[in-house]
Amino acid sequence: MKDNCIACRLAYNFAIDRLRKPMMAYDACIDAATENQPSKFSSRIDGAIQPASLDFKKVKFPSAFDISKEWTIQRDFLHPWMKERNLHLDTISGVFNNNYGAALNQWKVAKWHKDKMPNFHGRGGKLSSIWRGRSIKQISRKTFELPKGNGTFRLGCELRFDGEVRSVTFSQSAGDWYASFLVKTDLPKPDPAPAGTVVGIDVGVVQFASLSTGEQFPPSMDYAKELEKLAKLQRQLSRMDGPIRGQRKASKNWLKQQKRIQKQHQHIANKRRNYTEIVSKSVATRFETVAIEDLKIRNMSASAKGDDVTPGKNVAQKAGLNRSILNGGFYQFRTRLEAKVNARGGQVIAVNPAYTSQTCAACGHTAKENRPNQATFKCVSCGHEDNADVNAAMNIMIRALNNVTVRDEKNADHQGTSTPASLPTESVGILAQEVVKQGALSDMKGWKNCSMQRSTRCGLFNRCGWS
């Protein structure tokens, strides 16, 4: 299986190598270029040009079929060991339709951006290969047979679905092998969430997710404890004899310790992924419309070290905050939430998160003094008190129901550039009355005198002061 994965990597690199080579002769490319833009094309010694200089709208790139045909001709000459070891050549050729085809399409979607050009897969990358389902024979619910007499493999658990196996993806992670089955089956659509239900979600480091209903989900794990265990394993690894290129190979104890570190990384990732699935399913099953923050994780987790001219401040503290932000998996939570809400016929609305933690959800007053500490929100104008994260979640919901745009297109890469004057200031009470008049929320009709109670019927605007 490892040999097949290595062969798939070599086949993919073969395709990328052909993609990066010149696609047109220099003279032909000059003829295809416009008369006013000859500077886009630069000649080379061999009379061709680099792909980065081509007019991509007029250049034909090699298709998966073209690459596969060329690979079949040159495979035995470049890598004779593949045939000698009785590898499944059909699986290796499938790389061009699956991996290379997807990479080329992704580059096209990115409008042929130079930085989005597909890259080579290195030796240290993840081992994986995709096999056709018809080439793998199922013996029992757990046992399967590989083609060409390469043996059988047994799953740790039975397949959960009955149907046609379209493909099987084998991959290695932390020293263990995994098989992912793509099965064509008939499953009923998930039940839709209750009609007219809306919720706002604020994500953070102290509380993973806070809902506008007052419900909060704590972090998935004690991340400091997991990091301490990881650091201990890494210190032990540093005292062992590791590999030195051209001098020595890694010792067996070093390889064993490296596998323990990989297991710890996998353990952290699994806990994060599992908790994300739990929280996203809990929200998707109860609410039809979900409002979330349109966060720019890359900007939030940027380093504060600065440069030689303007060195940064509190670099160590910012590095710790960055680790906590990345450990939260906020974007993973957003993607899984969008997939589950859309599958149930709902919608996810992303809004600008600027000043949501400083704006009062009851009166709309925005001030830095409204939040005296991390967990407390107390409006200096109307005296409204609430949990700071819950108050922010209610503001997020208000902006979503007001149809506030996600972000100005001119400042699409920046976060928090809006001013308080440009953001909605309607209180929850005014907004609730407008929504009820429009009949958007049937459960709210005729419901009056919320009076700051945690009513399950009110749900959307509990503890809001609406009367």
Question: Could you give the residue numbers annotated as active site?
Answer: 202, 293, 389
Residue 385's H or E segment, with its range, is strand 385-387
Contact predicate 167/182, CB 8 Å: yes
- The two tokens of residue 321 are 């905050």
Q: Could you give the maximum distance between any two Cα atoms of the chain, in Å?
A: 82
Between CA 47 and CA 25 the distance in angstroms is 7
Contact predicate 178/153, CB 8 Å: no
Residue 250 is classified by DSSP as P
Between CA 158 and CA 154 the distance in angstroms is 9
Q: Is beta strand 143-145 parallel, antiparallel or unpaired with respect to 128-132?
A: unpaired
Nearest-CA neighbor of 56 among 70, 74, 79, 37? 37
- The two tokens of residue 426 are 């309607």
- Write b or e for each residue in 133-142: b if 16 or more Cβ atoms lie within 10 A of its Cβ, otherwise e: eebbeeeeee
DSSP alpha helices (H): ranges in 215-251? 223-238
Strand-pair partners of 183 = 165
Write the DSSP string, 231-287: HHHHHHHHTS---BTTTBPPPHHHHHHHHHHHHHHHHHHHHHHHHHHHHHHHHHTT-
Between CA 446 and CA 450 the distance in angstroms is 11
